[in-house]
Amino acid sequence: MSNTGVAAVEKALSLLDCFQPGKESLSLAALSKATGIPVTTVYRLMNSLERMSYVVRSGEGVYSLGHRVHYLSKLYEQSFRLSAVVEPILHDLAAATGASASYSVVERGKWLCLFRVDPAEGLRITRVPGDVRDFDSTPTSDVLRHWGLNEPVFDLMPSLPIFKSGARDAHTAASAMPIFGAGDQFMAVSTLSSPASSLEAARTDGSSVARHVGAAIDLSRRLGASAAFCERIYSHPRLTR
């Protein structure tokens, strides 16, 4: 049986992939430019997606994602039964540190944000659950590549949490912790991100480090990692790269 797929389906899905933070509404011309698909074909595919409620069209002919996408995203979360475990810990971590807290995994060679909680106050680092990104030089990417893809990111085992300021831009900083589950297998990365000055200050006085390590231990244990493994991974200082 051939596994070459169906071109029309792949084109329709590529149109849905065009919707991103800051690009929530797109015209036919914008969709055609982003995908390289002719406008007439885009029009036919978007009509099909609209009939199935995957997109909605405004009176001006601009398209946005429809409620069916939201339904599938919630179904995806529930299929893993992760949200009930992960989100309360992220909420506590964001409230305690004043930073945005996220939980991300490796998905087809990219970085997928599954859950994210922003602080009630202060500047927020814009990401949304479902956001997919290429790997970069940030701590989140370092953790996913090193533990998730077994890439030799570090010459020596790193000190945890992994912290970088200015890796994405000059104004932000991030702190990342690997998360493990059943069988002591790597599952995800827990990341704190905020304006650089805030996270650097919290790291200097040790408050964010202690809370981030504690949350990683709690989350890993709840996901099935053994106490002995968590003690070994999280409790001892390591050399930096």
Same domain, 213 and 95: yes
Burial group, residue 42, by CB count within 10 angstroms (0-12, 13-18, 19+): buried
In a domain? residue 239: no
* pLDDT, position 121: 62
Q: Which domain holds residue 34?
A: 7-70
Task: Give tens-digit pLDDT for 182-237.
Answer: 889 999 999 999 887 777 766 776 778 889 999 999 999 999 899 989 999 997 54
Rounded Cα distance between 239 and 241, Å, is 7
What's the pTM? 0.66
Residue tagged 């087809």 (tokens) = 108
CATH of the domain at 129: 3.30.450.40
Q: Work out the pLDDT band at 21, boundaries 50, 70, 90.
A: confident
- Number of domains forming the structure of the chain: 2
Going across the sheet that includes 63-65, the strands are: 25-26, 63-65, 55-57
Residue 141 lies in a domain: yes
Q: Is 176's pLDDT higher than 90?
A: yes
Q: How far is residue 87's CA from residue 101's CA, in Å, rounded to a whole number?
A: 9
Among the candidates 28, 51, 70, a domain finishes at 70
CATH code of the domain in which 15 resides: 1.10.10.10
The reported pLDDT for the residue numbered 22 is 86
| 42 and 145 belong to one structural domain | no
Burial class (CB in 10 A: 0-12, 13-18, 19+), 14: middle
- Tell me 17's DSSP state: T
Whether residue 240 is contained in a domain is answered as no
Confidence bin at 125 (pLDDT 50/70/90): low
